[in-house]
Amino acid sequence: MKGIPDLAEVEAMDAADPLRAMRDRFVLPEGIIYLDGNSLGAASINVFSEIETAAKQEWARDLIRAWNTAGWFDMPVELGDRLGRLIGAAPGQSVVCDTTSINIYKVLHAALAMRPERSVIVAEGDSFPTDLYMAEGVASTRPGTVLRLEGVDAATIEELVDDRVAVILVNHVNYKSGRLRDMAALTRKAHEAGALIVWDLCHTAGALPVDLDGSNADFAIGCTYKYLNGGPGAPAFIYAANRHHGDIRQPLSGWWGHARPFAFEQGYAAGPGIRRFLCGTQPVLSMRALKGALDLWDEVEVTAVREKSIALTDLFIRLVEAKCSAFGLELESPRRGAERGSQVSFAHPHGYQVMRALIERGVIGDFRAPSTVRFGFTPLYVGYRDVWDAVDVLEDILRTGAWREARFAVKTTVT
């Protein structure tokens, strides 16, 4: 794309979009431009259908029998395999369960147990906070374990890796800036030092191709309610490479992870393979909602999603800088599409107020303290005209100073 396109060119991009028909599969409010799919994805029609079936037929009619007749018990592994296709994982290595935070706790303990002679966890200082909180919690239960942080203890993760490091916990895409890390290169660096690596895919799964197996990754965790559109609080996932399955030991030894859960034995015996990461009874209705969300992905190639994602975010950056550069916005995301996920972030001294004004005008993004306005682009339902219109609204709010109205400074609980 040379220069700044006009509206006719933008509309032509929509007309030529191979993913355009997918938008009709989502329920989006009239008059809303939704650019917050990196926090919570929109609802698809498939999701409602699955929830209704699970609630009105399976639960209401079959009752307890549905654990067998509707296959509820095996959903964590079956959904894990379906999700595995989107993250480059062969069958049997992924399981859908629990929350991202709980899964971080489980997988860090498992990795530390596999490197008993080592006592260091490495993470990013600017990681999403739950990653750091859970790493702190894990370290507190293991005397002598310490946490080293990129940006605090050294400038880069690579500088922190030595023969004391047991495990590296790292985000594939930074939640605030959208910067994308080189998975294969950092995994190789970890292995050269004898360390294991855990990839956080919360801002990756459903946004761009991932090759966990090809990168020789050890573990990964992530959520399903962002680009995968599984719904608020949708269950998270864990990936563990096959080569590690026999060594997995994690402390949340609940009955679903038992080798024979319905033998009701007194002692714990870990189940086979990836099931070792299961803990307690899983949320069936949320699982079924996720099943509906994943059904759409059977019709979509992630490479096409990535191509459109880069085009959308490139267009957004160009238009914002062309129309809004005089109003205090500063690009925080990488300029090159290949170096970022499916989001664009700008800093503004009054970012919170600007975002609240945008939301009131029907352009929904989000704010990350202290000054980041963040926009997520889900290619399945965001179009190029959406980008054009969103920038028009942003330019008007900044030019007129509408964001200065007092009500936009009132803090909400969720930003």
Answer yes or no: is pLDDT of 3 > 80. no
Per-residue pLDDT reduced to its tens digit, 255-296 = 999 999 999 999 999 999 999 999 999 999 999 999 999 999
Domain 49-297, CATH? 3.40.640.10
- Domain 7-30+301-409 is of which CATH architecture? Alpha-Beta Complex (3.90)
Q: Residue 288 catalytic?
A: no
Q: Residue 352 catalytic?
A: no
Q: List C-alpha distances in Å: 112 to 57, 120, 242, 259, 277.
A: 44, 9, 17, 23, 15
Q: How much is the pTM?
A: 0.95
Catalytic residue among 26, 105, 225, 277: 225
Per-residue pLDDT reduced to its tens digit, 103-149 = 999 999 999 999 999 999 999 999 999 999 999 999 999 999 999 99
Per-residue pLDDT reduced to its tens digit, 352-411 = 999 999 999 999 999 999 999 999 999 999 999 999 999 999 999 999 999 999 999 999
What pLDDT was estimated at residue 2?
Answer: 59
Catalytic residue among 226, 276, 356, 368: 226
Catalytic residue among 291, 374, 381, 408: 374
Q: Which residues on adjacent β-strands are paired with residue 368? A: 372
Catalytic residue among 105, 128, 227, 237: 128
Dihedral Cα 360, 361, 363, 366, nearest 10 deg: -30
Amino acid, res. 96: V
Q: Residue 374 catalytic?
A: yes
Q: What is the DSSP string of 334-365?
A: -SSGGGB-SEEEEE-TTHHHHHHHHHHTTEE-
* Domain extent listing, the chain: 7-30+301-409, 49-297
Closest CA to 382 of 331, 336, 344: 344
Give the tokens for residue 177.
């800036």
Position 415 confidence tier, pLDDT thresholds 50, 70, 90: confident
Q: Residue 225 catalytic?
A: yes
Catalytic residue among 17, 36, 98, 200: 200
Q: Tell me the average pLDDT of the chain.
A: 96
Q: Residue 175 catalytic?
A: no
Give the tokens for residue 341.
């996920």
Q: In whole angstroms, what is the distance from residue 33 CA to residue 364 CA? A: 6
Q: In whole angstroms, what is the distance from residue 228 CA to residue 207 CA? A: 8
